[in-house]
Chain A
């Protein structure tokens, strides 16, 4: 038996080369006969493809002699397409001498060629439609987010009334993951931040001979502003993304639906423990970042300005008031709530396949970092008005 597409000849690149010498796809037009020869296959057709468009066809009927040709589906389609074009221009076209395999392929492409002509209705939305759709989608996602906050609050309220409902084991696990495991990275970055600020401030202060004020600069910047902010940003990237990925994966694998069907509220098992754990962990991490930042400042002050650790710590009490300290720490639970809400919410927004998990995780991190910075700015303005 012979099948044009599975000739069994091609066994490697070297042999393809041999094949092409003796059997290169070709077409020769003489009189009203177009004689096709060689192997018309996907790999070897690119030359012919362009020639078919430029060939000088006879003005009268065209007879294709296919006795010396070997097709695959692509070759059959090219010939079929050419024949159609010729017919459309009013010529009489006949295909002759095709072996059974080639005939089958020609029939196959002919019977499926309708797909190429069918106009594909791709709806391209206009500008206004696009704006409308986008607005509606944004509006919906805000509405969903607020609904999610409400749902979480309701679950939280129920748990407060009946603390046995709280999943203490989950809370402990989340504390470990979000808090304890974040200590190295938060500590290192806060320490380096302290070093950088002390260096930047120190070079200026040294010129004025006001070395001791390096304590005010480092301590105020770290405690009031930078420690809460950098900690929240790290946690958003580290923990917020993990929340989205975890819940998102559970959405894709239908675990969330399974929880619901068993009668466990996903909010209660997944969201609330994460939220509680993060609200506890983030202020603690912030205090830790305060300390590490100050240590960074002490190290740099010592090496740059010769300020002893003892005098640095002595000055600390004057430089940072309790109010300053608390205003820094006070922001942390708000950031924590925000990160946990956004992280979990985006997880529940995942639909479809694993791809959605990645997309939603990116959105989650960008949104929570964005919101953390916006809220931080709002705090600064509020503190300014209140004179704190």
Chain B
């Protein structure tokens, strides 16, 4: 479309706090997601990464603060107003979030069946194309979630998240629990989606290799805030205590060397 839109901010998080009972998980997060970028949210366990992702994907509301999605304030939005926004985002859940009583083909077709008036034949073909796109074969399409391995479930979940051609994809730990080969394949897939479809992607991950490979920008959460934000190179060189702690460990260094070598 227009050039300025390619740099537009699709998600803007301002001063977001989140409290569960007595426990404050987020204490003032500011974060922008720019169109066409892959933003990775990282941080230790319990640092509120997934919570932040859920807030951006309108799956929960913050205690305090503002979240603008496609320039619409979503913290106080009602369901009717949220629906058109929901159609423009896709969420891939950590364990797939696939409906257990439907096979993969039916799962992927759900958003199209619910929100369009396309014929059953077209919906099924579209589901087939998405399933092929995420690298699952035709046999997997007729399997039920319980029959799939973890990696296949994640792929199927990704296929469903893309069903309505979303502008923003939220990925919750896309490579956790996968073997290195499957993790690489998911990374490749995410990069390909970004490059061929121009998707904007927000991903939550611990996976250092994955960070070096796919992330355009990385936001490190520590103590309920975004401690450091920047490219992976910037974060690796950062003097910030949290960044040193997170990226300075042996795994972080090993991934950096691997990334530099390749």
Contact = CB atoms under 8 A, between A and B. Distances in A.
Nearest to B138: A118
Given A1-B36, A11-B70, A109 B119 contact: no
B116 interface: yes
Contacts of A356: 146
A353 B199 CA distance: 32
B1 interface: yes
Contacts of B71: 11
Contact of B100 (A72, A113, A353): A353
Given A74-B165, A114-B132, A120-B138, A10 B84 contact: yes
Interface in A250-296: none
A1 B125 contact: no
B192 to A, nearest CB: 9
Given A42-B164, A104-B196, A2 B146 contact: no
Contacts of A109: 129
A41 B145 CA distance: 29
Contact of A116 (B6, B70, B128): B128
Contacts of B141: 115, 120
Contacts of B35: 6, 8
A42 B88 contact: no
Interface stretch (A43-51, A184-192, A229-237, A329-337): A43-51
Contacts of B118: 42, 45-46, 49, 74
Contacts of A43: 87, 115-116
B60 interface: no
Interface string B186-199: 00000000001111
Contact of A115 (B115, B128, B164): B128
B142 interface: yes
B112 interface: yes
A11 to B, nearest CB: 6
Contacts of A45: 116, 118
A9 B130 CA distance: 24
Nearest to B198: A3
Contact of A81 (B125, B132, B145): B125
Contacts of B125: 77, 81, 116
A108 interface: yes
Interface residues of B, number: 46
Contact of A73 (B3, B119, B126): B126
B72 interface: yes
B27 interface: no
A81 B198 CA distance: 23
Nearest to B87: A43
Which residue, B71, B112, B138, has most C-beta atoms of chain A within 10 A?
Answer: B138
B100 A42 contact: no
Contacts of A16: 84
A78 interface: yes
Given A8-B8, A49-B122, A115-B131, A13 B84 contact: yes
A238 to B, nearest CB: 27
B182 interface: no
Contacts of B172: none
Residue from B35, B36, B130, B198 having most chain A Cβ neighbours under 10 A: B198
Given A6-B198, A101-B198, A355 B146 contact: yes
Contact of B1 (A2, A41, A72, A353): A2
A89 interface: no
Nearest to B122: A49
B139 interface: yes
28 contacts: A1-B3, A1-B6, A3-B198, A5-B197, A6-B200, A8-B1, A10-B84, A11-B72, A11-B84, A12-B84, A41-B165, A42-B118, A42-B164, A45-B118, A46-B116, A49-B119, A72-B165, A73-B130, A74-B118, A74-B122, A77-B125, A77-B129, A112-B128, A115-B129, A115-B132, A116-B128, A120-B141, A356-B146
What are the nearest 10 A-B pairs in CB distance?
A3-B198, A115-B132, A46-B117, A112-B132, A115-B128, A72-B165, A6-B167, A5-B165, A352-B146, A1-B6
Given A11-B70, A11-B71, 6 more contacts: A5-B165, A6-B197, A73-B126, A73-B130, A352-B146, A353-B146
